[in-house]
Amino acid sequence: MKMIKKFGLALLIATSMGTFSTAVMAEASDGRISYGPHEAVDLVVGKIKTAIEAAKGGADGEKLASLIKEALDASKEVNANDRVDVARLRANNVLKSARKHAKESSLQEAEQELEKALKDFEALRGLI
């Protein structure tokens, strides 16, 4: 009887783990757009280029900071493997620093860091 109880409990646990697994539930919902790694990198690069153009065009610090925030948010979609994730985190740190400079109205430093972030994100394509 003990053996049947243990077997039944183990079977119940295994079934519940398979039923409620996060990997099983991880597909995109109707309201969410899923990007492939290359598409996500292109999206981030496009947003960084927009921020660079705004910095060169003389946008104010708050506007530039919001454009950089959009690029940071879009970078969360880049997900291929661990090496890409580490490189993405490093590039994100450069974007965060650029955003900090933009909020402080140091637009020249922000523009330089945006250029570096652009190179870092373009380098991600080689890691994918």
Please report where in the chains the tokens 């880049």 appear, as a residue.
78
State the pLDDT at residue 29.
55
Would you call 128 exposed, middle or buried from its count of C-beta atoms within 10 A (0-12, 13-18, 19+)? middle
Confidence of residue 96 (pLDDT cuts 50, 70, 90): very high
Please report where in the chains the tokens 């945006």 appear, as a residue.
114
CA 119, CA 91: separation in Å to the nearest integer?
Answer: 9
**Tens digit of each residue's pLDDT (9 = 90 or more) over 49-74:** 999 998 888 888 889 899 999 999 88
On the question of pLDDT at 32 being above 80, the answer is no
User: What is the token pair recorded at 12?
Assistant: 């119940």
Question: pTM above the 0.85 mark?
Answer: no
State the pLDDT at residue 92.
92
Chain centroid to CA 128: 14
Domains and CATH numbers, the chain: 37-127 (1.20.120)
Confidence of residue 125 (pLDDT cuts 50, 70, 90): confident
Is residue 65 within 8 Å of 72, Cβ to Cβ? Answer: no
Please report where in the chains the tokens 């950089």 appear, as a residue.
68
State the pLDDT at residue 47.
92
State the pLDDT at residue 95.
92
Please report where in the chains the tokens 């994730």 appear, as a residue.
85
